[in-house]
Amino acid sequence: MSDDSIIIPSTTTNSLSKLTINDYSKTGFGYNPSIGTQSNSINNIETSNLLISKKQIILSTSTIPIYEKLHLISKKSPIEEITLSSLLYLFSEIIQWQFKNSKNINDLEARLNGLGYKLGIKLIEMIKLKDGYKLLKRDTKILEILQFIHGPFWKFIFGKQADELEMSQNNNDEYMIIDNLPILNKYISIPKDYGDLNCCAFVAGIIEGSLDVSGFNCNVTAHTSTTDQHPLRTVYLIKFHSNVLYRENIRN
């Protein structure tokens, strides 16, 4: 398995924020800003053949267009709830799988973060679509987007709001979202010799992906911060890049 094929934001150059105008979709479809509208036209033979042979298209896509499926969510979707158990088994298996591939604890966290990152990119669009026009406006301020993540976003993926949203007192580029009982960690006991590993690095990746794709470049890390009442309490530390703060200052 080659390491460079994984998107690990903030550690490799593959991060979305670092894509240049010369990067283009490898599948041959999609809008390429460096070419302009031309990129949407069907000019190469391979793609036009695909589009012409209708049979092949039916073979590789389902019968309902994906956007119609997304709109179905706002109505009552048939699969409203999947049991938490199934998700937790899957998550546990993901950790074991990534654990085998990783060199150390930091590497494991980076990999989990990378998996979550890809999810975050898709999730934020999906959630904005789900609630219709109410949420469809673009958030332009740090506080607005964070409140969205803390509220509706959290509720959509975990079925409840996050517990706290705080701004760091020392650094003005750092914010914290706090979850007192992170569902994914509910049954996981971290062995003593694994240091401060927190498997919610996966969730940190989700947050990082959705903030990055909304134009708020940042790094997000998950830290365990135990209190007597909440032994699994997890703090997601969000550190924005300087350009985001610069923009924020101009707008204010």
Partner 1 sequence: MKVYSILILNKAGGLIYQNEISSGLNKLSANDYLVLAGTLHGVHAIGSKLSQSISTTNNLKNTEELNSIQNSNILSFGKALNPNNNKSGLQSIETDFFNLYNFQTVSGLKFIIITSPNDNFENFETSNEIFRKLYILYSDYVMKDPFYSLDMPIKSILFDKNVKELFR
Partner 2 sequence: MSKKNTGDDIWKNNVEKIVKLFTLTYGSVVSQLCRDFQNNYYEVNQQLDKMGYNIGLRLIEEFLAKTGIKRCQSFKETADIITKLGFKIFLNIQPTIENWSNDGKSCSLIIPEPNPLTEFVELPITSDSKIGKELWYSQILCGVLRGALQMVQLDCDVNFIKDVLRGDDRTEMRLKLNKILKDEVPAGED
Distance, CA of 165 to CA of 225 (rounded, Å): 15
Q: Scanning residues 44 to 63, which ones bind partner 2 (CB under 8 A)?
A: 46-47, 50, 56-62
Q: Pick the closer one to partner 1 by CB: 38 or 96.
A: 96
Distance, CA of 194 to CA of 190 (rounded, Å): 7
Contacts of 50 (CB under 8 A, 6+ apart): 56, 57
Question: Binds 95, which of partner 2, partner 1, none (CB < 5 to 8 A, cut-off by type)?
Answer: partner 1
Residue in the block written with tokens 């705080």:
166
> Contact residues for partner 1 (CB under 8 A)?
85, 88-89, 91-93, 95-96, 99, 186-191, 194, 199
- Please name the helix (run of DSSP H) or strand (run of DSSP E) that holds residue 79, with its range, or none: none
Q: Which stretch binds partner 2 (CB under 8 A): 76-84, 141-149, 213-221, 241-249?
A: 76-84
Q: Kindly state the tokens that stand for 131.
A: 């609630």
Phi, psi for 221 (deg, rounded to 5): -130, 155
> Is 220 strand, coil or helix?
strand
Output the smallest distance, CB 46 to partner 2, in A.
4
Output the smallest distance, CB 157 to partner 2, in A.
5
Output the smallest distance, CB 64 to partner 2, in A.
9
Q: Find the angle CA(53)-CA(54)-CA(56) to the nearest 5 degrees.
A: 75
Distance, CA of 196 to CA of 251 (rounded, Å): 38
Q: Which stretch binds partner 2 (CB under 8 A): 94-102, 141-149, 188-196, 218-226?
A: 94-102
- The Cα-based distances of 185 to 79, 98, 181, 182 in angstroms read 24, 16, 8, 6
Output the smallest distance, CB 174 to partner 2, in A.
26
Among 21, 79, 136, 250, binds partner 2 (CB under 8 A): 79
Among 95, 110, 123, 149, binds partner 2 (CB under 8 A): 123
| Interface positions with partner 2 (CB under 8 A) | 1-2, 5-6, 27-29, 46-47, 50, 56-62, 66, 69-70, 73, 77-87, 89-94, 96-97, 115-116, 118-119, 122-123, 126, 156-159, 183
